[in-house]
Amino acid sequence: DQQVKQNSPSLSVQEGRISILNCDYTNSMFDYFLWYKKYPAEGPTFLISISSIKDKNEDGRFTVFLNKSAKHLSLHIVPSQPGDSAVYFCAASGSTGANSKLTFGKGITLSVRP
Amino acid sequence: GAGVSQSPSNKVTEKGKDVELRCDPISGHTALYWYRQSLGQGLEFLIYFQGNSAPDKSGLPSDRFSAERTGGSVSTLTIQRTQQEDSAVYLCASNGPTRRSASGGTSYNEQFFGPGTRLTVL
């Protein structure tokens, strides 16, 4: 049973526009939600995270929104840049000990067109 | 170095052979995780080490997989009698204290990943 789901495998947006990447989860016990970016042949790079007690966290061009009642989160990138083209993974975890292991979605490939 | 390092970067082996993968976490990070990414799949948790505590092995797919962490730093993941379905990218991550991001916000459970070892079992 997949606890973190990224239902769209790909997204293409125009440079300068907003990219919205969606993620759903089933486990209401998750405390933290994270977004990672991955280029080919590299390890994932942390982008932004949010605690389950918050509904929004912003860092530069990246904003993550959390809707706990819907078990849904989204990553907004604005403005999108060609260098943002990569695979984006949504992940979730508990807060302590072994629960800190990350449960990942399958990723979404973002393409930003110049 | 400043980041998580892994070796080798690529490993090709024959079915039935044993392989050993190495991870050097960020200095001072007490938590260390192994994940793997199989073709077309997301990242899958394998094993977790925290300090001197007993590891959480709940993600290991079979008893052919084992891992150890010596001296609370370097970790090795060993796969015995490799099978073709073991082919994947094996990623190591380490985690330190919750920190502030550049913009002043809090980063929760930020795990720093190495570049991975791509294992191919022929």
Please answer yes or no on whether B115 and A41 come within 8 Å at the CB atom.
Answer: yes
Tell me the sheet residues that pair with A57: A64
Residue owning tokens 């860092």: A59
| CA distance readout (Å), A64 to A32, A67, A73, A104, B75 | 12, 10, 7, 16, 33
Closest partner CB to A97 (pick from B40, B50, B103): B50
DSSP A95: S
Q: Average pLDDT of chain B?
A: 91
Is the confidence at residue A60, as pLDDT, over 60? Answer: yes
Is the confidence at residue A13, as pLDDT, over 90? Answer: yes
Please answer yes or no on whether B33 and A93 come within 8 Å at the CB atom.
Answer: no
Residues of B within 8 A of A63 (CB-CB) are none
Strand, helix or coil at B33? strand
Residues of A within 8 A of B41 (CB-CB) are 106
Radius of gyration, CA atoms only, chain B: 15
Please name the residues in contact with B38: beta carbons below 8 A apart, sequence gap of 6 or more: B44, B85, B87, B88
Q: Which two tokens stand for residue A15?
A: 């440079």
Residues of B within 8 A of A60 (CB-CB) are 102-103
Distance from CA of A83 to the nearest CA of B (A): 19
Q: Compare A1 and B92 and report the one with higher pLDDT.
A: B92
Please answer yes or no on whether B113 and A44 come within 8 Å at the CB atom.
Answer: yes
When pLDDT is cut at 50, 70 and 90, the band that residue B103 belongs to is low
Is the confidence at residue B22, as pLDDT, over 90? Answer: yes
pLDDT of residue A102: 95
Closest partner CB to B107 (pick from A31, A49, A107): A49
pLDDT, tens digit (0-9, with 9 covering 90-100), for A80-106: 999 999 999 999 999 888 889 999 999
pLDDT of residue B98: 62
When pLDDT is cut at 50, 70 and 90, the band that residue A45 belongs to is very high
Residues of B within 8 A of A58 (CB-CB) are 103, 105
pLDDT, tens digit (0-9, with 9 covering 90-100), for B29-88: 989 999 999 987 789 999 999 988 889 999 999 999 999 998 878 999 999 999 999 999
Rounded distance, CA A52 to CA A71, Å?
Answer: 10
Please answer yes or no on whether A34 and B50 come within 8 Å at the CB atom.
Answer: no
Distance from CA of B113 to the nearest CA of A (A): 5
Is the confidence at residue B102, as pLDDT, over 60? Answer: no
Q: Decide: A64 and A73 in contact? Cβ < 8 Å.
A: yes
